[in-house]
Structure 1
Amino acid sequence: MNRTRWPVMLFDLDGTVANTIPLILASYARATMSVLGTPVSEAESRLWIGETLAHTFNTRFPEHSEKLVAAYLSWNVANMDQLVQRYENLEELIIYLKREGVVLGVVTSKRRSSAEQTLAAVGLTALLPLVGCMEDTAQHKPSPDPLLRAVELLGRRPDECVYVGDTPFDLQAAKAACMAAIGVTWGAGSREELDAEGGTAIVGTIDELRRELLSPTAS
């Protein structure tokens, strides 16, 4: 009996699989302070989460973009192990899905080296293969390209997949890729922002996510 709703489940990384939100916001503040002399507000930088660093800084501060990216990465990498936190009970859910035979993976806008360090910091490297990073496609979320490439690498179809993420960019990318899309509210995006995207479901706890990922007879 199939106990899960989708045979392939892909996850965003920041704010979905790992609680990196405090680290990201602090990294934006430190970078803008060191390069521009004024730290960006948390309210503004929270809206940037889910974009690539290059897109964020090229769009808003093109004349300082390279220095901002370098400053962000330097502080972020140096403080990752201290500031990244696990989401309670998520590892248990991932282990269950893996035992059920679900194909799992992570698709993120982070650089591969940073993504690998993040997964290691929360102890999920062995459980969640990294199938999509910034370097892998020319276009990034909300473009569907990163998700479509991941599906191609896995040898599956978009209609077999669900993408789980915490920002509107994640849901937009999933819908553009013709995948199911589940938004989680424990990351960067608010329930109102996620609701506005009209995904398959919006959940606020790991237990709610588990129920959405399982078939009705298994939940």
Structure 2
Amino acid sequence: MKPYKCVIFDIDGTILDTERMNMIPLQRLIKRELGQDVTYDEILKYRAYPGKKVIEELGFEDIEATYALWVEGVNSFEEKAGFYDGILEVIQTLATRGVICCVSSSKLHPQYLIDFAEHPIDQYMTRVVLAEDTLKHKPDPEPLLKAIEGLDISVDDCIYIGDMDGDGIASRAAGIAFGFALWGAPIIDGINADYYLEHPKDILSLV
């Protein structure tokens, strides 16, 4: 294994623990607007989708209005997003070592600003690629390739850290190594990865 020069991060389930603050308001929205009782486990599959894609997949007719209601529910939810233990310190350490750090996420930009309002990470990131920045989204490789576009590094120099199978599929399609973030993964079995990382600090051994 050669040291990687660039670490690309997913956000939800990798940097931030946002699962409950996103999924419970969605569950409540489905009940209120569609009259459907869905379990928490049933909606977990939507974690990796861009926000408006979730609304579309669920069959809502007015995508924009329904998405706005979901965002309202997330922003007023009683629990807020928090950093996974040790991840911010790892990002800071990578930056001080001269490792290129990027973000590639299906999160929309307004929600990104909300989630990182108290503790911005942009100062550590060479590039942040969000849902609005690409036409295609994971598991398509476009968001990962966009993150390193013009950085004068090859895909062999990069590793993507994520918590979902779709992250791994996108990584392989891009020719980028995949580090599976076990600390935030809802499903562990059957996920194909180059590295299985128990704790954020394990990333430091790869650079």
- 1:190 aligns to what SS in structure 2? coil
TM-score (norm: length of structure 1):
0.84
CA-to-aligned-CA distance 1:115-158 (integer Å, 9 cap, x gap): 12223344434323552011011110000011111111534322
Q: How far apart in 2 are the matches of 1:41 and 1:121?
A: 31
Provide the residue aligned with 1:151 in structure 2.
148
Task: For 1:107-122, list aligned pairs within 5 A.
Answer: 107-122=104-119
Q: How far apart in 2 are the matches of 1:156 and 1:23?
A: 36
Number of aligned residue pairs: 206
Provide the residue aligned with 2:202 in structure 1.
208
Instruction: Tell me the C-alpha RMSD between the 2 structures.
Output: 2.1
Give yes or no for contact 1:168–1:189 (8 Å, CA) kept in 2.
Answer: no
Q: 2:192 aligns with which of 198, 210, 216?
A: 198
Which one-letter code corresponds to 2:86 in the other structure?
N
5+ residue gaps, structure 2, are none
Q: 1:70 aligns with which of 51, 68, 71?
A: 68
- 2:196 aligns to what SS in structure 1? strand
Give yes or no for contact 1:137–1:146 (8 Å, CA) kept in 2.
Answer: yes
- 1:56 aligns to what SS in structure 2? helix
Q: How far apart in 2 are the matches of 1:163 and 1:189?
A: 18
Q: 1:54 aligns with which of 52, 55, 66?
A: 52
5+ residue gaps, structure 1, are 215-219
Shift of 1:113: 1.6
Between 1:127-136 and 1:162-171, the stretch displaced more is: 127-136
Give yes or no for contact 1:11–1:107 (8 Å, CA) kept in 2.
Answer: yes
Give yes or no for contact 1:31–1:39 (8 Å, CA) kept in 2.
Answer: no
Q: How far apart in 1 are the matches of 2:114 and 2:3?
A: 30
Q: How far apart in 2 are the matches of 1:83 and 1:185?
A: 21
State percent identity of aligned pairs.
25
Between 1:50-59 and 1:94-103, the stretch displaced more is: 50-59
Q: How far apart in 2 are the matches of 1:49 and 1:129?
A: 25
Q: How far apart in 1 are the matches of 2:156 and 2:17?
A: 28
- 1:154 aligns to what SS in structure 2? coil
Give yes or no for contact 1:18–1:86 (8 Å, CA) kept in 2.
Answer: yes
Q: How far apart in 2 are the matches of 1:110 and 1:148?
A: 17
1:30 is the counterpart of 2:28:
yes
Q: How far apart in 2 are the matches of 1:39 and 1:129?
A: 42
Shift in alpha-carbon separation, 1:95–1:70, aligned structure 2, 3 A: same
- 1:33 aligns to what SS in structure 2? helix
Shift in alpha-carbon separation, 1:155–1:112, aligned structure 2, 3 A: farther
Shift in alpha-carbon separation, 1:156–1:35, aligned structure 2, 3 A: farther
Shift in alpha-carbon separation, 1:159–1:25, aligned structure 2, 3 A: same
1:178 is the counterpart of 2:172:
no
Shift in alpha-carbon separation, 1:38–1:62, aligned structure 2, 3 A: closer
Shift of 1:39: 4.6
Provide the residue aligned with 1:141 in structure 2.
138
1:104 is the counterpart of 2:72:
no
Shift of 1:71: 1.6
Shift of 1:210: 3.0
